[in-house]
Amino acid sequence: MSAPIYEFAKTYSQSGISRFHMPGHKGRHFHGMEALDLTEIRGADYLFEASGVIAESEAQTAKLFGAQKTLYSTEGSSLCIKTMLAIADRCRADHSKRMLVIAPRNVHKAFINACILLDIEVCWVYPAVRSRSLCSSGVTADDIARAMEKCTRKADAVYITSPDYLGFIADIREISKVCKGAGVPLIVDDAHGAYLKFLENDTHPMTLGADLCCDSAHKTLPCYTGGAFLHISKDAPAGYAECAKLMMSLFASTSPSYLIMESLDLCSDYLLNGYSSDLAVCVKRTALCKKRLNDMGWKTVGEEKCKLTVAAGECGISGDELGDKLRSYSIEPEYTDPDFVVLMTTPFNSEEDYTKLEHALSEIPVSGGRAAEFDEIPSAVVRMPIRQAALSPARTVPVDEAEGCICGMTVTSCQPSVPIAVSGEEMTADIIKILKRYGVFSVSVL
């Protein structure tokens, strides 16, 4: 086994040392995991100035992903997203203007929060073929190239979410070529795609040309909630690796969870020893399940190998209603909305899980689709910088009274936290319609 953080914690838990240090449980049984829950004692290293067991574990993970440097996060990809943008901001050549980032609309709320904190200007990309879902963008390399031409000045970074929440995967290799040709760093939110590196055909962003990317290891790998990786490419611009820990420490807790770090550590060992073969079995079984669902008349979408996304709206039932029906069979989806049901698989799903799902969907009738309630996500009407709007005094009003107002705090649906209206944008009739469709009935406005 090569899991230095875990091995240190285990040895310490068995040492008989009297713990006159944090945490308050002192390693005594209360929840059941206290013995391995440590703080920054001698030998345990410190996440943001790592030089011992944490540094060793991070280096092992970086090697696995082909990265110049990998940082552990105990606060999910949300921390990594803010960190990646801060790295790109610090290392850009011209600081005479606000940082400008090109991004499709299906960003996570953490991206917007970073824009507020770092005062970033966003040039939104609206693909030639627009998505009918908040969760997906369908952005292409050509869309990014056109956005670069339309921007009033050269962008400081391009930011992509791939895979997206529905399981669609952008062509990172081609987008990377466009970015490299323009001398613009590429940042990828790969929160749902940590496993892509270990497929038979490696399609991880680090392999395909991203300069920075984050993986929510806890989403698809056997890690505790909050465990994530931030990867820095070997070809990343100068200074990225050197300032990464400092930038992460600006946003992070000074008390990172050792239990989460230990889970990342053990996960790294598993990735090195046996995960690829387990993943291959999962991919094969997920593909079989997808085929069986399609044969029943259910339409599945997306390219992800370990995600089953049912386009319920095209099968005569709302995604939310289908989700409720699945719950009656003791099946809990990852996500539902009016159009889709998202189900995620990993090697830790049992054969019983698959057969239960197949049985449930065989008993739920499929019929003709229904018309979408709106054609596409409309273009934003920007009235004020994101930071200025978010930090200005605001009032909360019913959505029906918000038309014509400026959005105060960014509005997202609970999952997957993709913004419907961003701070500083005008609340149009189309936006209000979408807000109500996703169950948002009051908003913060200026």
Domain boundaries, the chain: 4-272, 276-363, 386-445
Residue 155, judged by CB atoms within 10 A of its CB (0-12, 13-18, 19+), counts as buried
Which CA distances in Å does 354 have to 10, 274, 307, 408? 35, 22, 12, 44
Q: How far apart are CA 260 and CA 217, in angstroms?
A: 11
pLDDT for 376 equals: 67
Is the distance from CB of 263 to CB of 227 less than 8 angstroms? yes
Structure tokens at 188: 């990828």
Can you read off the two tokens belonging to residue 407? 């959005």
- Residue 20, CA distances (Å) to 23, 256, 264, 432, 433 in order: 9, 19, 26, 55, 57
Instruction: Provide mean pLDDT across the span 293-304.
Output: 96
- Which three-class secondary structure state does DSSP give residue 432? helix
Question: Is the model's pLDDT at 81 over the cut of 90?
Answer: yes
Just give the CATH number of 4-272. 3.40.640.10
Q: What amino acid occupies position 253?
A: S
Sequence letter at residue 428: T
For 314, which DSSP code? G
Q: Which CATH architecture has domain 386-445?
A: Alpha-Beta Complex (3.90)
Residues in the chain: 446
Round to whole Å and give the CA distance between 399 and 303.
Answer: 35
Task: Tell whether the model's pLDDT for residue 176 goes beyond 70.
Answer: yes
- Answer yes or no: is pLDDT of 241 > 80: yes
Q: What is the pLDDT of residue 123?
A: 96
Separation between Cα atoms, residue 57 and residue 53, nearest integer Å? 6
pLDDT digits over 183-227, tens only?
999 999 999 999 999 999 999 999 999 999 999 999 999 999 999
pLDDT tens readout for residues 18-60: 887 867 778 887 677 889 999 999 999 999 999 999 999 999 9
Cα R_g (the chain), whole angstroms: 23
Percent of the chain with pLDDT over 70: 96
- Which one is predicted more confidently, 137 or 428? 428
Write down the H helix ranges in 92-184.
Answer: 109-118, 141-150, 172-182
Tokens of 258: 């050792």
Angle, vertex CA 215, rays to CA 211 and CA 216, nearest 5: 155
- Bridge partners of 265, per DSSP, are none
CA dihedral for 269, 271, 275, 279, sign (positive or negative): positive
pTM for this prediction = 0.94
Using CA atoms, how far apart are residues 156 and 136, in angstroms rounded to an integer? 23
* Helix segments in 303-418, DSSP class H: 319-327, 351-363, 386-390
- pLDDT band at residue 372 using 50, 70 and 90 as cut-offs: low
- 378: tokens are 């409309």
- Rounded CA-CA distance 72/112 in Å is 22
Domain covering 276-363 in this structure, CATH number: 3.90.1150.10
What backbone torsions phi and psi does residue 271 show, to the nearest 5 degrees?
-60, -35
How is residue 98 annotated by DSSP? -
Sign of CA dihedral 96, 97, 98, 103: negative
Count of other CB atoms within 10 angstroms of residue 204: 23
pLDDT of residue 33: 85
